Amino acid sequence: MLLTLLLILGSFLRSQGKDVKDTQIPGPEGAIAYKICLPEDFNPETDQCTMVILMHGIFSSKDYNPMPAIAKGLAKAGIASLRFDFNGHGTSEGRMQDMTIEKEIADAMAVYDYVKALPYVSEIGFLGHSQGGVVASMAAGRLAAQGQDAPKRLVLIAPGAVIKNACQNGKFFNARFDPKDPPEFIRCWGFMKLGREYLLTTQDLDIYGTAAAYEGKVRILHGTKDKIVPMWCSEQYKETYGDRAELVVIKGENHTITNRRDEVVRRIVEFFSESE
């Protein structure tokens, strides 16, 4: 598998920050689709660089804003990235209805193990947006708690810890349900399905407690016009991490990162570009 990847990457050595074509790795819920974006003129057979694993939010994908822009911004700074679709999202296998946070953490761990085995990767960073931020923070915490090599740095963009409250209160976006006895699935906006297992298990997540085990540096980004994830989620993460974390409030930015995207990307790139 590794040799195959190197051969694929070798044919894209002059890609100048463009994505390597879609490919897949085995995951606990089926094949995980991903793309790697390398710095300009990077040779994976002779060079080494940092790689950031990018984790999208709920109902999103690796190819939806802001992930492609972040990948390209990192590549211009000499940093590689791998962005992937969680189970049931994008072109990965599985049903969205079967998705849970624990399953997404398992996906993230599978991707992490894969990236860790790549010989051209010197350090690994995590970045998560919205629900992906919850997954990234919990995965980093799990790795640290287990005594494994945790990512060197962690970026959380509008981390959606509010999902726990939403499931406890029986209101997820525009869908309402009995939190003690939810149906087989609910429909958000009429077509996005969330399953009963997700609605029940999310209520009991120890999001901040799990995240707290991570001891690396953290940058949290949150827009003042975010109407999906409230600012208190990021403030609680800042309190959880203490001096290890910095909360950067982006004036005028929304949840989907479309108003001040260049500033968000710049803040991400400078954080992963910093020396120790």
Q: How confident is the model at residue 191, as a pLDDT?
A: 87
Beta bridge partners of 28: none
Three-state secondary structure call for residue 102: helix
Residue 271 · residue 219 · CB < 8 Å: yes
In the chain, where the domains are located: 2-273
Q: How confident is the model at residue 36, as a pLDDT?
A: 96
Rounded Cα distance between 181 and 262, Å, is 43
Q: Which residue has the tokens 């009991």?
A: 204
Q: Phi and psi of 82, rounded to 5°?
A: -130, 120
Element (H, E) at 270: helix 261-273
Q: Kindly list the distances between the CA atom of residue 145 and the CA atoms of 139, 149, 212, 214, 262, in Å, as whole numbers in the listed order.
A: 10, 10, 9, 8, 35
pLDDT in tens, the chain (276 residues): 333 333 333 333 334 466 666 789 999 999 999 999 999 999 999 999 999 999 999 999 999 999 999 999 999 999 999 999 999 999 999 999 999 999 999 999 999 999 999 999 999 999 999 999 999 999 999 999 999 999 999 999 999 999 999 999 999 999 999 999 999 999 999 889 999 999 999 999 999 999 999 999 999 999 999 999 999 999 999 999 999 999 999 999 999 999 999 999 999 999 999 876
Q: How confident is the model at residue 17, as a pLDDT?
A: 65
- Domain 2-273: state its class: alpha beta
Q: Is the peptide bond before 66 cis (omega within 30 degrees of 0)?
A: yes
Rounded to two decimals, the pTM is 0.92
